Amino acid sequence: MSSGLFTIVVPAHNEEAVIERSLRTLCNQVTTCELDIMVVCNGCSDRTADIVRSHAAADPRIRLVEITQGSKPAAIRAAFAAVSASAFVAVVDADVVLSADAIEGLATALEGQLPLIAAPQIDVNLTGCSGAVRRYYAVWLAQPYITAGVIGAGVFAVNSAGLERITALPDTMADDTWARAQFARAERVTSAGTFTVFPPRTLRPHLRRRARIVIGTRQVAAMRKAASGRWPDAHLTPTTTDAIPKSRLARATSADQLTYWAIQKSADLLATWRIMRGRTGWVTDVTSRVSEPTP
């Protein structure tokens, strides 16, 4: 069984619709670790901070950090600066739901003196999603990057030896992808438990979200290429269905594959358009941020 202080960082910008669910999920973790749940409200103009403050008054494991800048990377850096003597540190998006055994699984996977990064297995909740979004994920979930265990979709955790590699997080829209890229393949672990993500429910916000991901991935790829002089990990290159073994596409129809390809290409074009016009700011999806979606 794992032990030690486990700090969970939750960056939150106007997340009043989901922050209570997030805190409840984290407080209900079944683990032998001592939990330190740090919610960093960044540039919030809604009730997020008030909700966190109320829960912190009732549960000493929860603490609130507030910064005026509405920036997820800035929030994470502020949290890292406030981490003290933690054996493990996780960054968990406010709209993600962890299974009850996820933190214990992360702690077990990260034990040891060598730098490691880990994440549980991803689960995608498609409740209420349109047909196009469902078709997209029928292919997306077959990608080797996903089936091998994804680190960089809303949750990542490091041990104390790995923390020093990511404290200098740059201003990028793909913070988790950047963190993953700081570790060699042998240093990336898929842990026990799951984390559930809730994608945009309709096509238009889904496309905007995919464009945001493309922008962030391009930012990280450019950083890595500039640092190493070569193109980095395969998961930072454009993805097509050609990279997916046919056996994994058995349950994806031709319509699924066509939809996936069309959305990917459209997201690439939208990302290029936004970059050209300097519109690379964060875009938050509201269709999936409802108070109590079913995990």
Task: Give 117-130 as a DSSP string.
Answer: EEEEEEEE--TT--
Q: Angle between the 131-140 and 203-228 helix axes, to the nearest 10 degrees?
A: 30
Model confidence at 227: pLDDT above 80: no
- CA–CA dist 186, 197 (Å, integer): 25
pLDDT digits (tens, 9 = 90+) for 29-45: 999 999 999 999 999 99
Stretch 10-32: mean pLDDT, rounded? 96
Kindly indicate the confidence band of residue 51, based on its pLDDT and cuts at 50, 70 and 90: very high
Q: What is the pTM (predicted TM-score) of this model? A: 0.88
How high is the pLDDT of residue 222? 81
- In Å, what is the CA distance from 120 to each residue of 34, 102, 286? 19, 6, 25
Residue 109 · residue 162 · CB < 8 Å: no
Residue 159 three-state SS = strand
pLDDT tens-digit map of 241-280: 445 555 455 567 889 999 999 999 999 999 999 888 887 6
Q: Does the pLDDT value for residue 238 go beyond 80? A: no
Residue type, 278: G
Provide the pLDDT for residue 241: 47
The chain-wide mean pLDDT, for the chain, equals 87
Domains and CATH numbers, the chain: 5-121+149-199 (3.90.550.10)
| Residue 6 clears pLDDT 80, i.e. is over it | yes
Measured CA distances, 103 to 15, 181, 194 (Å): 22, 22, 10
| pLDDT tens sequence across 175-186 | 888 898 889 889
Q: How confident is the model at residue 294 (pLDDT cuts 50, 70, 90)?
A: very low
Q: Which of 102, 124, 109, 92 is nearest to 193 (CA)?
A: 102
For the segment 4-25, the average pLDDT, to the nearest whole number, is 96
- What pLDDT score was predicted for residue 213? 87
Q: Between 290 and 71, whose confidence is greater? A: 71
